[in-house]
Amino acid sequence: MAERLFGLETEYAYALLDRAGQRIDPAQALGWLLDAARRLIHLPDLNSNGIFLANGARFYIDCGGHPEFAGPELANPWDAARYVKAGERILERLAADLARRHDAVAHACFFRQNVDYSGTGSTWGSHESYLHRNDPALFRRHLIPHLVSRLVYTGAGGFDSTYPGIRFTLSPRVPHLEADVSAESTRCRGVFHTKDESLSSSGYHRLHLLCSESLFSELGLFLRVGATAVIVAMIEAGLRPGEGLALPSPLQAMQVFAGDPRCQEVVLNARGQPMTASAIQRHYLLLAEAHLQSPFMPPWAEAVCRQWRQVIERLESGSPDSVATSLDWAIRFSVFDKFLRDQGYSWQSLQKWNVFAEEVVKLLPGANSRDKAPDLETLSSEDEIPKEMLSKLRPQLSQQGVSLNEYKEFRALRSRLFELDTRFGQLGDKGLFAQLDRAGVLRHQFPGVDNFEHAMECPPATGRANLRGNCVRRLGSANCSRSAYACDWAAVWDQSQHRVLDLSDPFARQEDWKTVALDSDSSLNPILTPRHRRMFELLTLSGALTR
Amino acid sequence: MNQLERNNDPSNRPPEPQAAGTGGSNLNDLRRQAAALHAAADAAIKNALSANSKAFNSSMRQEGGQ
């Protein structure tokens, strides 16, 4: 049985609120957050203002100014879910620390949120990395149908934040994807991301996926990583799991699947055959099941396939009700559906308002800009609407048989649903998911995804993450001179003893420090900088590092 | 299982549920689960939703990530 390594990154939205409920300046808040994080056992990150933690993870402030946890390299899907939960709890601990230390902070709120509903068009990702040793070009063709269709169990659920009406989607990142394939990550994102930065020694590649979302469901997390890693293993072994599944327009297919909570919509493959998302998933599953005994399969493949099959069967037997307490998107859908009905609406009745909202967008200036989505919600009377605009709106109102006040109510409903979606992802006691979980009404839990306290403090049992985490545990406490050290994914640097722990082998099992032979007149600065790192690397290449 | 010695050995894993997430797939079970979910959601929403959602959404405005 072959070992595999993978990892998950989670980008969090955040807001520190003062006693008056006002948001504290984001730059100030991030500074306090980093200060709080540096009170944890850690080693400094060589490449950023972030830190590496005792569990082998990296915590830092990413582009766009949001906190991010990049989890340690993991060898099984139980740990994938477990370390995501551990990162979440570390953040909750930091939130409590911030509120305790800063009088100005009444609430430190962090959100496992996927899209911003204020009109910025922003989105937060949960990226996946899978280590492999094959030609990266092979993955595009054979993985894309999987990425397109797996959203029936990996989707977080939410609303299309780019749409002027109310449109539920299984996967709120999908409206933010603009290409089938792309190397970009902050704009023009693709279903398949071509980045290949291995962060390892030569021969290894890192498949980096960014089309997915942050999940709470342990079952969803387990299956998302488990099924994808099994497919990566099959591709690496020379199988062609995407054969016969090629889609003429993957992005379009993804949009179709994301819009259908019943999971019954079909798309045509390149041969013109209609396929549901479940059918595509079943194709991959059957191939995986047929190769369960193959030496390239990871030891947990059978457990993954068992859950994979059960989830597909449940989706086919009556989605969304059949998964309404176990998968993120379906839990959200069920809760929002009930809320809508309580407010006197239904998904069906929203259609009339959506049509009108689309018309309004066409009538108003800046209608094509996400940043300028028109909003009549706050208007108290028609008098506040410019006459020219009103003269355009009136025929539409009349045609739809609705009043401006009713439209305002619809817009208010939209805002409430958007807040609910954000609250669903809020960490801590107030979060909707957390409250439902505490009430015992969800069935997403997965045996083996447990002992989060341990995962907050300790690295996984295998691979270089274990060595890195144990170094941080040993060297990164406040009473150690941790400023003499620096860390990145592939090494730990010890400035005081002029040595480096090479972790470029992702499967490294032994802590093997190498001493750096430095000239006596070296201009080495006590604080490691990227310049010094380059020097260390040059020394390594020139053979100056000795055992 | 000794959590300090976790590894990849599947024999160390606790038994998986037969149908993680459903606890039974018949219609009555699903209805009962949905009713419990909705009752809990009512209480949770009252606890979570602010008085001014539009203001809340605006206050959460931020740049996002990748």
DSSP assignments along A49-65, one per residue: S-EEETTS-EEEEETTT
Question: CA of A351, closest CA in chain B: separation in Å?
Answer: 22
- Eight-class DSSP state of A382: G
CA distances from A542 to A28, A516, A537 (A): 44, 11, 9
Residues 294-313 of A with CB under 8 A from B: 298-300, 302-303, 306-307, 310-311
Q: Is residue B19's pLDDT more than 50? A: no
Q: Is residue B5's pLDDT more than 50? A: no
Confirm whether A489 is domain-assigned: yes
User: Is cis: bond before A320, omega within 30 of 0?
Assistant: yes
Contact A439 B40 (CB under 8 A): yes
CB < 8 Å to A125, chain B? 65-66
- Eight-class DSSP state of A87: H
Sequence ranges of the domains in chain B: 23-50
Q: How many CB atoms lie within 10 A of CB A86?
A: 25
To the nearest whole number, what is the mean pLDDT of chain A? Answer: 89
**What are the structure tokens assigned to B65, written together?**
């990530």
- Cβ(A85)–Cβ(A445) below 8 Å: no
Contact A311 B36 (CB under 8 A): no
Average pLDDT over residues A511-530: 59
Per-residue pLDDT at A407: 87
Per-residue pLDDT at A216: 97
Q: Which residue from A minimizes the CA distance to B47?
A: A430
Question: CA of A412, closest CA in chain B: separation in Å?
Answer: 7
Confirm whether A430 is domain-assigned: no
Question: CA of A268, closest CA in chain B: separation in Å?
Answer: 30
Measured between CB atoms, does B64 come within 8 Å of chain A? yes
Confirm whether A61 is domain-assigned: no
Identify the domain containing residue A514 by its residue range.
473-546
* pLDDT > 70: percent of chain A: 90
* Res. A359 pLDDT band, cuts 50 70 90: confident
Confirm whether A484 is domain-assigned: yes
Confirm whether A164 is domain-assigned: no
DSSP per-residue string spanning A306-329: HHHHHHHHHHHHHTTGGGTTTSHH
Contact A125 B66 (CB under 8 A): yes
Confirm whether A372 is domain-assigned: no
Q: Is residue A186's pLDDT more than 80? A: no
Per-residue pLDDT at A376: 62
Question: CA of A155, closest CA in chain B: separation in Å?
Answer: 16
Give the span between the Cα atoms of A15 and A132, in whole angstroms. Answer: 38
Measured between CB atoms, does B24 come within 8 Å of chain A? no
Q: Tell me which residue of A191, A21, A180, A219 sits closest to A105, measured CA to CA.
A: A21
- Given B10, B22, B43, which is nearest A326 (Cβ)? B22
pLDDT digits (tens, 9 = 90+) for A434-454: 999 999 999 999 899 999 999
In this structure, of A12-16, A383-387, A428-432, the range with the lowest mean pLDDT score is: A383-387
* Res. A536 pLDDT band, cuts 50 70 90: low
Confirm whether A94 is domain-assigned: no
Q: Is residue A95's pLDDT more than 70? A: yes
DSSP per-residue string spanning A392-455: HHHHHHHHHT--HHHHHHHHHHHHHHHHHHHHHTB-STT-HHHHHHHTT------TT---HHHH
pLDDT digits (tens, 9 = 90+) for A399-413: 878 888 888 899 999
Phi/psi at A186 (5° precision): -110, -5
pLDDT digits (tens, 9 = 90+) for B30-65: 999 999 999 999 999 999 999 999 888 988 887 766
Contact B8 A3 (CB under 8 A): yes
Per-residue pLDDT at A7: 97
Number of A to B CB contacts under 8 A, please give it: 212
User: How far is C-alpha A171 from the geometric centre of its chain's CA atoms?
Assistant: 11
Sign of the alpha-carbon torsion through A171, A175, A180, A181: negative
| Local structure of A126: helix, strand or coil | coil
**What are the structure tokens assigned to A473, written together?**
């545990």
Q: Is residue B2's pLDDT more than 60? A: no
Contact B8 A75 (CB under 8 A): yes
Question: CA of B2, closest CA in chain A: separation in Å?
Answer: 10
Per-residue pLDDT at A487: 93
Confirm whether A487 is domain-assigned: yes
Average pLDDT over residues A222-237: 97
Predicted structure pTM score: 0.90
* Res. A386 pLDDT band, cuts 50 70 90: confident
Contact A448 B45 (CB under 8 A): no
- Residue A503's Cβ-side half-sphere holds a number of Cα atoms within 13 Å equal to 24
Q: Indicate the number of domains in chain A.
A: 1
Question: CA of B25, closest CA in chain A: separation in Å?
Answer: 7
Give the span between the Cα atoms of A93 and A21, in whole angstroms. Answer: 21
Per-residue pLDDT at B24: 47
Residues 385-414 of A with CB under 8 A from B: 412
- Eight-class DSSP state of A12: -
Measured between CB atoms, does B10 come within 8 Å of chain A? yes
**What are the structure tokens assigned to A99, written together?**
């509120």
Q: Is residue A546's pLDDT more than 80? A: no
Q: Report the residue of A211, A304, A416, A509 to disrupt the B interface, i.e. the one with the largest count of B CBs within 10 Å.
A: A416
